[in-house]
Structure 1
Amino acid sequence: MQLSRRSLLKATAVSGAAITLSGGLSATASPSKAAAAPANNYANGTGDWLVGLGLADITGAPAGQGMMGFAQEDQIAHGIRQRYLARAVIFVDKNTNAPLVHVTVDTCAFFANEMDELLSRLQKTYGGRYSKKNVIVTATHNHNSCGGTSRDLAYVLAAKGHQENSFRCEVDGVLEAIARAHKNIAPAQLYLGRSELYNASKNRSISAFNLNPEHDKREMPGGIDPRVWVLRIKRGTKDVGVMTWFATHGTSLTDNNTLVSPDNKGLAAYIWEHDEMGVDYMTTKDPFVAAFIQTNSGDMTPNLWLRKLHPSGPTSDNVLNNAIIAKRQYDACHKAWANAVPLRGSGIATSHRYVDFAHEVVPGKYTVDGKQWRTVPTVMGASGAASSEEDNYESVVYPYIREGNKSPLTKFWDWDRKNQLLDADWDYQSPKLNFLPLGYLPVKGWNPQELPLTIFRLGELVFVCGALEYTIVSGLRCRRLVSKRLGVPMENVIFQGYTNSYCQYCVTPEEYMAMQYEAGECQFGRETLGAHLKHYDAMCDELLGRGKPYKSTTNRAYKANMWIPSWLPAVPADTLPKGKKYGDVLLPPPATVKRGAKLDVDFQATHLNNKLYRGSTYHEVQKLVGGKWVRIADDFHYDTILDWRRPDGSKTESITRVTWNVPKNQPTGTYRIVLRGDAKNESGKLTHWQGKTKSFKVV
């Protein structure tokens, strides 16, 4: 993900060093005795594990607000391609009753303030059963989600501040997904499958990758991580869910997209849930859940042609590319799912802590040169400001600043670090051309300086989790260390980034020297990875019962920036052109529509943000069945698009277009399009309305 470059370029005041944040040890193998147990009776059914599954809509404001991922001020949402979801899976150890909550959110990131709000509300509902010790929320890094959900200034500038409406939708939806999973905990069996996928990712920084040692590069054929892991979840003979891990970025739709939507992983989940398993996202209480989860995808792009500032591949159509990359992931994961074998081992164990990455001393045993290093407060490099040129159509600093730009003072900073004359922070950022000192800006840094790390074990599997975007070799080195320390085969250690918070990238020290985009955004300095290895090593000690308690308090750093408002103008009261009413059909459908055709229908409408309809839908495609109108498509469906706009010259009128790309296999019959919304008057009162087209035939 890119920071808000255009807005950050306007930043001026630079002040003292970033605050030292707080954290806490979280190593657990069993819940508190006072923890509330699920209401379910576990005695019913059979299975080696207890598992609950749930999903929920987390789509935020779809009109007139900035999107999250590319951090471009002009990428303003104006509709919905598809709603995006949270997918929760709760595992419970039958022997100890210890739970583990794993949630996959189809957003760019799940920020510290969102995590804190979630944990606070879980505490109120479930007591100490679900806490920071055993709740994992990981993002697919979808670059088409709603912006403004963070409380860190760097991540809300492009969205014009914190947007409470989208923030609430995401947290409420995650809480709802967990609640649904909690209610259906039941005996289940777990199966582990593996496969490989070679045509859904490319290394967008191959020059940096090539600086790694040969023994690392041999693990990554062609500069990619092809590994696919699948956890198949069954209750008796019934499949109820699947969790998959594979590394590729959520940037298929690119920065040209202005429709809120999943990217390739969310679409892959939709293919499995909806197309294969028949999930209706608006009515199914206990649906099949398919979570497509990120691993170490920091340098992995789905735009396979690697064209600079023209992201494309395997075709020149980004929407088609999204579908192709999604289907390739689905196919590879389905292959692993079909060949899955029973998961061996039992039990759940976790180790969790917050680490002050701005002030870590890294011993020589974890550094590339064998000497002591330290990390420093966050700084965006010039090459980070240049953006990932393979995934963006626009770079606001191109061609003046490019990937690969390095500091002209590199030799001096390296000399100073070696000789300890100044021991300046810049010594540890070299060869970065320091561009924006985010960790030094008031108030107490513009992005997180303290981040959570987690290792959890589920039977024979071990998951190593971090909050950054990790290149494939940085993830490999973390897996290798944990594998060795815990005595677990490498193939059973899965790395998972984008977890429980977010603050840019982690690259290997060798990759750092190339100063590609990822290194420019490796903001804590050259030995960011070494700091991770140091703590993962200590966390392995905890899991082995040998570690000393890690002394830190809970993460509250983001509250220093709770003052951040929204400076987006309020949505004005809705108005109508003379002679019109809300719901009027402005562009009607023809009498007949052929299968495979595209149908556009325009309605006189209101601002979509008046009511967000989370868990519901603005529009429906309905079919006449037995004299009754039956919903067959809605906001969640891939075949329809909701496109909102202001007509020329108006700041208060709205037109919403519903597009239906009629499937080639759509049953013939009588159909209509329905749109609903809510009109806001000057006092803020909402009045519901609904519009319907005349019926038409699909032939």
Structure 2
Amino acid sequence: MPLLQSYIAPPLARDIALAMRSFIQDFTNRAVFCLGAFLASTSLLSDGSQTTMGIAAVNAQTQYLLGLGIGDITGPVVETNMMGYASLAQTDTGLYMRQRSRAWIVADSSNSSNRVVMINADIAMGDTGIRRSIVANLSATYPDLYNNANIALISTHQHSGVGGYLENLLPQITSLGYVKETADAIVAGTVKAVLMAHDSLAPGTLSVGNATVVDGNRNRSPSAYLANPADERALYEYDQDKDLSLLKFDDADGNARGFLSFFAVHGTSLYENNTLVSGDNKGMAAYLYEAMEQPDVMPGNNTFVAGFTQSNVGDTSPNTLGAYCESPGESYDGMLCEFNTSTCGGATEDCHGRGPAFEISDFASNMIIAQLQVDGAQAIMNGTASTAPIEGNVRAVHTYLNMTWHTFTLPNGTTVQTCPPAMGYSFAGGTTDGPGAFDFTQGDNSSQPQNPFWEIVKGAITPFPDAEQVACQDPKPVILNTGYAHTPYNWSPGTVDIQMFRIGQFVMLIMPGELTTMSGRRMRNAIRTQLIANGIVGDDAYVVIAGPANTYAHYVATQEEYGVQRYEGASTIFGQWTLDAYIDKYGSLVSYLADNATGAQPPSDEAPPDLTGEAISLRTGVVFDSAPLFKSFGDVVADVQSSYTSGETVFAQFIGANPRNNFRLEQTFLSVDQDVDGAWTMVRSDSHPSTTYNWTRVDTITGTSNVDITWTIEDGTPAGTYRIQYFGDAKAIGGTITPFVGTSSNFTVS
């Protein structure tokens, strides 16, 4: 069988990285959260890369019951902190593209109760509370079909979405606590997507393939990667996984219904100064592919569902040009950042990763990284890259693992243990996608006392680590001892979801954190070996990683990378044996994926506590909206011009109201309408990348605000007469919310 690789290397391709943050104003940190769902191949080549070569041909491919769905999960697009960079200053002001959840169901055709649900959500990471609510909704509707074992909540790990939805306190700090509206929107849209997938279940077939996307990512911590053994590194051509793996969904007649792909690149193409809600590069890739398949269907109404899921994303970046010093007036301005610490003049603040279209805009870079993933997926879907059929039973296994002082035995017989969660000093140093602040840097594994000032500050935020915790986390110098911080509720998770899906010879490791490149490789190889050794699958096993999913437990670095203590090592919260603990636990559960498995689930630690009842929020609600004297909501403040040509941007400003009054899920805040034979037809919505929606508060006391809407006219737009409409909802002093519409003057496009 030919090597299943298609090389995608357009002229521009770089990536941009995670954007974790360090401390902010009141000495709290800004965390960043990533990991992803990565689909890796099965047979290892001599250079260590993975392909589907070796998957045996089958005489009669198994038919599965397949379902696909999509739902709008966009929460409050203004006055809410964004999730990912954990920057207090990054408060959303509008909408670039809606966030969505996409769902895929695979069921055995012979026994449809054996099924799995894969959810790929345009959010920064999975969350225990969100998943709990989704499982509760679905199991209440179909108690015999959907349960805690067979539902996976995987994230695209984008950094431009609405925040405040995670249960634990640390990621809530910059959002001023828990934002229930965000959580509710994610749950509602995700449940809708799964129910749509359920209702669309029909016989079909599956196949798997992979393409090589050379320019789509970059390692943002190459000095840590180099700490891994040289002979291990020599197995691989790159210090990043370049394979995009894809699970193709066809109907019984062989027509494509959609796919779920896996490629490791951070959702940080849009920088930390962006305040428009978006799905970043993976959300954009999904839009581009779905629009290509169904060009006449409005986004969100499509039945072809394209999934771009994360993999071992931990040390990846879409800033493919590299990290440079942006330090005007300094001698090092424009130079590459220092290799080991990612600093400029000894500080992290001016070291920034650059995307492939850096000189144009981060939005242009976002489009390039998205298109690279689209090209890779298209090569597989169109047959340019080979695919192999999937055949076999559907199985799911899930358990909870308390990672606090978890003791286990390494393959060499040594007994080791994980630690209560803690963040290291280099966590506060951030990354080249989101630099830290103050005097924190990456690569800080000093055993000497840190800055005395910060030693005092860290004790004021979380309890000082005791000798046992210090020894366990060594060589990580602890700055936030979150495993011991429980006021007003748990700062970090101590218990994580362990989950695996098997569909024939295709196995998904659904991970509760962000694995680095080498961590992902070790994880896949180890579990694949155990699957084959236990007779669960044959030599054609195809093992992939998906995450950060279900619970967000930060990073998973190798033991060697942990010793370097760059951002990823400092954010490996359970200590240096975290990866080995996961390999041990996932490996112990492979028997539950066997053909003769009864469906019974393994023993489990206690589930994480439900923290939503204790959640606090310091955000204020919408008090009221008002229009200026002698004006009405929706009135035009700045009107359009009379005519435009392709490439120009149409602008209109309206008297607005707070969009938190109505998220308009499955609807839109705006439309671009075309006059077609005397009737207005919507041709663009707020889900198109050619439009933007910006909300600005004019006066807090009077409750007045404006809304700016833009449309950049794409090449090929039909000549004709157009208008822009704005859809808003105003809240009166008494609390009544009333919808309204604003309409621009007509204009022509020539």
* Same fold, judged at TM 0.5 (above): yes
The one-letter amino acid of 2:122's match is D
Instruction: Tell me which of 594, 601, 607 is aligned to 1:555.
Output: 607
Shift of 1:490: 7.9
Shift of 1:93: 0.5
What is the rounded CA distance, in whole Å, between the counterparts of 1:251 and 1:645 in structure 2? 25
Shift of 1:267: 0.5
Q: With the length of structure 2 as denominator, give the TM-score of the two structures.
A: 0.83
The one-letter amino acid of 2:426's match is S
| Residue aligning to 1:267 | 284
Shift of 1:227: 1.3
Per-residue Cα deviation, 1:317-351 (whole angstroms, up to 9, x for no partner): 21111000000111012112223434232111122
Would the aligned equivalents of 1:407 and 1:431 in 2 still touch at CA under 8 Å?
A: yes
| Residue aligning to 2:663 | 612
Shift of 1:572: 2.1
| Residue aligning to 1:253 | 270
| Residue aligning to 1:107 | 123
Instruction: Tell me which of 525, 529, 539 is aligned to 1:480.
Output: 525
Instruction: Tell me which of 320, 327, 331 is aligned to 2:375.
Output: 331
Per-residue Cα deviation, 1:93-135 (whole angstroms, up to 9, x for no partner): 0122211111100110121000111111112111131011111
1:540 corresponds to 2:590: yes
Shift of 1:159: 0.8
| Residue aligning to 2:748 | 697
The one-letter amino acid of 2:371's match is K
Within-5 A mapping of 1:650-665? 652-665=703-716
Residue range with higher mean Cα deviation, 258-267 or 436-445: 436-445
1:75 corresponds to 2:90: yes
Instruction: Tell me which of 398, 403, 409 is aligned to 1:357.
Output: 403
Shift of 1:511: 0.6
| Residue aligning to 2:510 | 465
What is the rounded CA distance, in whole Å, between the counterparts of 2:700 and 2:179 in structure 1? 26
Per-residue Cα deviation, 1:28-50 (whole angstroms, up to 9, x for no partner): xxxxxxxxxxxxxxxxxx97111
| Residue aligning to 1:597 | 648
For residue 591 of structure 2, give the secondary structure of its aligned residue in structure 1: helix
1:406 corresponds to 2:423: no
Shift of 1:283: 7.1
Per-residue Cα deviation, 1:534-583 (whole angstroms, up to 9, x for no partner): 101201233347999743255232x2463122101222211221221111
Within-5 A mapping of 1:272-421? 272-278=289-295, 280-281=297-298, 284=301, 287-308=303-324, 309-316=351-358, 317-339=361-383, 340-365=386-411, 371-388=414-431, 390-392=432-434, 394-397=435-438, 400-409=439-448
Would the aligned equivalents of 2:399 and 2:603 in 1 still touch at CA under 8 Å?
A: no
| Residue aligning to 2:4 | none
For residue 182 of structure 2, give the secondary structure of its aligned residue in structure 1: helix
Per-residue Cα deviation, 1:284-319 (whole angstroms, up to 9, x for no partner): 3x6100000111010010011221532312121211
For residue 246 of structure 2, give the secondary structure of its aligned residue in structure 1: strand
The one-letter amino acid of 2:421's match is T
| Residue aligning to 1:170 | 186
For residue 223 of structure 1, give the secondary structure of its aligned residue in structure 2: coil
For residue 411 of structure 2, give the secondary structure of its aligned residue in structure 1: helix
Shift of 1:408: 2.0
Would the aligned equivalents of 1:480 and 1:490 in 2 still touch at CA under 8 Å?
A: no
Instruction: Tell me which of 697, 718, 721 is aligned to 1:670.
Output: 721
What is the rounded CA distance, in whole Å, between the counterparts of 1:292 and 1:351 in structure 2? 23
The one-letter amino acid of 2:373's match is Q
| Residue aligning to 2:70 | 55
The one-letter amino acid of 1:362's match is F
Shift of 1:596: 1.0
Shift of 1:57: 0.6
Would the aligned equivalents of 2:699 and 2:705 in 1 still touch at CA under 8 Å?
A: no
Residue range with higher mean Cα deviation, 137-146 or 354-363: 354-363
| Residue aligning to 1:427 | 471
- Aligned pairs, number: 645
Instruction: Tell me which of 13, 17, 20 is aligned to 1:2.
Output: 20
Shift of 1:649: 7.3
What is the rounded CA distance, in whole Å, between the counterparts of 1:523 and 1:671 in structure 2? 54
Q: With the length of structure 1 as denominator, give the TM-score of the two structures.
A: 0.89
For residue 182 of structure 1, give the secondary structure of its aligned residue in structure 2: helix
Residue range with higher mean Cα deviation, 311-320 or 473-482: 311-320
- Aligned CA distance change for structure 1 residues 490 and 208 (closer, same or farther; 3 Å): farther
Would the aligned equivalents of 1:59 and 1:146 in 2 still touch at CA under 8 Å?
A: yes
- Aligned CA distance change for structure 1 residues 150 and 279 (closer, same or farther; 3 Å): farther
- Aligned CA distance change for structure 1 residues 346 and 546 (closer, same or farther; 3 Å): closer
For residue 311 of structure 1, give the secondary structure of its aligned residue in structure 2: strand
What is the rounded CA distance, in whole Å, between the counterparts of 1:91 and 1:575 in structure 2? 50
| Residue aligning to 2:12 | none
Would the aligned equivalents of 2:138 and 2:146 in 1 still touch at CA under 8 Å?
A: yes
1:439 corresponds to 2:483: yes
Would the aligned equivalents of 2:93 and 2:694 in 1 still touch at CA under 8 Å?
A: yes
Instruction: Tell me which of 238, 246, 267 is aligned to 1:222.
Output: 238
Would the aligned equivalents of 1:387 and 1:517 in 2 still touch at CA under 8 Å?
A: yes
Residue range with higher mean Cα deviation, 438-447 or 476-485: 438-447
What is the rounded CA distance, in whole Å, between the counterparts of 1:645 and 1:560 in structure 2? 34
What is the rounded CA distance, in whole Å, between the counterparts of 2:147 and 2:597 in structure 1? 23
What is the rounded CA distance, in whole Å, between the counterparts of 2:571 and 2:442 in structure 1? 11
Shift of 1:647: 2.4
What is the rounded CA distance, in whole Å, between the counterparts of 1:459 and 1:572 in structure 2? 54
- Aligned CA distance change for structure 1 residues 306 and 180 (closer, same or farther; 3 Å): same
The one-letter amino acid of 2:402's match is D
Would the aligned equivalents of 1:383 and 1:401 in 2 still touch at CA under 8 Å?
A: yes
- Aligned CA distance change for structure 1 residues 402 and 683 (closer, same or farther; 3 Å): same
1:242 corresponds to 2:294: no
Would the aligned equivalents of 1:189 and 1:342 in 2 still touch at CA under 8 Å?
A: no
For residue 287 of structure 1, give the secondary structure of its aligned residue in structure 2: coil
What is the rounded CA distance, in whole Å, between the counterparts of 1:440 and 1:407 in structure 2? 22
| Residue aligning to 2:148 | 132
What is the rounded CA distance, in whole Å, between the counterparts of 1:7 and 1:551 in structure 2? 44
Shift of 1:90: 0.6
Would the aligned equivalents of 1:279 and 1:287 in 2 still touch at CA under 8 Å?
A: no
Would the aligned equivalents of 2:638 and 2:654 in 1 still touch at CA under 8 Å?
A: yes
- Aligned CA distance change for structure 1 residues 471 and 128 (closer, same or farther; 3 Å): same
Per-residue Cα deviation, 1:458-489 (whole angstroms, up to 9, x for no partner): 11211112110000111111111111111154
Would the aligned equivalents of 2:28 and 2:173 in 1 still touch at CA under 8 Å?
A: no
Per-residue Cα deviation, 1:494-527 (whole angstroms, up to 9, x for no partner): 1112111212100000111111000010011011
| Residue aligning to 1:17 | none
Would the aligned equivalents of 1:4 and 1:154 in 2 still touch at CA under 8 Å?
A: no
What is the rounded CA distance, in whole Å, between the counterparts of 2:95 and 2:579 in structure 1? 38
- Identical residues among aligned pairs (%): 29
Residue range with higher mean Cα deviation, 341-350 or 290-299: 341-350
**What is the Cα-based RMSD across aligned positions, in Å?**
2.1
1:151 corresponds to 2:172: no
Instruction: Tell me which of 680, 700, 712 is aligned to 1:629.
Output: 680
Per-residue Cα deviation, 1:430-457 (whole angstroms, up to 9, x for no partner): 1111100111012463011100111211
Would the aligned equivalents of 2:403 and 2:496 in 1 still touch at CA under 8 Å?
A: yes
The one-letter amino acid of 1:204's match is R
What is the rounded CA distance, in whole Å, between the counterparts of 1:81 and 1:581 in structure 2? 26
Unmatched 5+ stretches in structure 1? 12-45, 411-421
The one-letter amino acid of 2:607's match is N
- Aligned CA distance change for structure 1 residues 348 and 690 (closer, same or farther; 3 Å): same
| Residue aligning to 2:615 | 564
Shift of 1:276: 3.5
Would the aligned equivalents of 2:402 and 2:605 in 1 still touch at CA under 8 Å?
A: no
The one-letter amino acid of 2:419's match is V
